[in-house]
Amino acid sequence: MPLPRRMKFAVAQIGPKPNGSASKALLLDCEDLPGEGWRVLNERTWRAGTIGPSTPWGDRTRAAKNIVAWRSFEQSAAKRWLWLEVAPFVSQDDALSALEGFSSNDLLKNLRADVAVTTQRSVTDIEVPGIDAVCLIEQDTNGPRGDGKAQMLLGVVDTKVVVAAFASLGDLWPREQITSVALSQAKRLND
């Protein structure tokens, strides 16, 4: 019997991750984000290619011992949240294949979010220089704290899948702020 996703995620975080610090260094920090009052909520690393179903690209990234890095932030005064993820693959073709898998299943579902998605739409008219195959998914949500908005930008920078998830209890994040965060993250990966 296969392990449930949460169990796979827990197992992927256990044990040595020799490139964990280097992977975390690829992520933006509070001072890189728009506005004031950001704080880091959490950060994690895990072995790439270990959580979802077995795929050729997942097998290759696992064999390469690549490490995924994730960091979440909160801007409490504005009731906004952001998490960033960088998942390395062995080639750009593998990253592009993985991107299709990320956006077509629950691999990016926030397991801690106590909300229900009420509507979802894909935004196709967004471009971010330096990021290939950009897609933006917007969701309206409802939960114990009220109605919210979530936006998830996905794309590929060289051999890495980049995910930036934006959430708020108010309006959608302005598109220029989403683009600004994505541009900063792409620049960090290219430096």
DSSP at 63: H
> What pLDDT sits at residue 18?
58
Q: How far apart are CA 183 and CA 141, in angstroms?
A: 26
More confident residue, 10 or 49: 49
> What pLDDT sits at residue 11?
41
Q: What does pTM read for this prediction?
A: 0.84
Q: How far apart are CA 23 and CA 48, in angstroms?
A: 11
Q: How far apart are CA 91 and CA 95, in angstroms?
A: 6
pLDDT of 153 strictly over 50 = yes
Element (H, E) at 73: strand 67-75
Domains of the chain: 5-190 (3.40.1000.70)
Beta carbons of 160 and 189 less than 8 angstroms apart: yes
More confident residue, 49 or 130: 130
Q: How far apart are CA 167 and CA 18, in angstroms?
A: 32
pLDDT of 17 strictly over 80 = no
pLDDT digits (tens, 9 = 90+) for 103-129: 554 444 555 567 788 899 999 889 999
Beta carbons of 165 and 189 less than 8 angstroms apart: no
Residues contacting 116, CB < 8 A, separation 6+: 141, 142, 143
> What pLDDT sits at residue 2?
54
> What pLDDT sits at residue 112?
56
Q: Which of 104, 101, 1, 17 is nearest to 67 (CA)?
A: 17
pLDDT of 139 strictly over 70 = yes
Residue range 30-57: mean pLDDT, rounded? 91
Beta carbons of 41 and 66 less than 8 angstroms apart: no
> What pLDDT sits at residue 54?
87
Q: Among 8-22, 59-73, 140-154, whose mean pLDDT is lowest?
A: 8-22
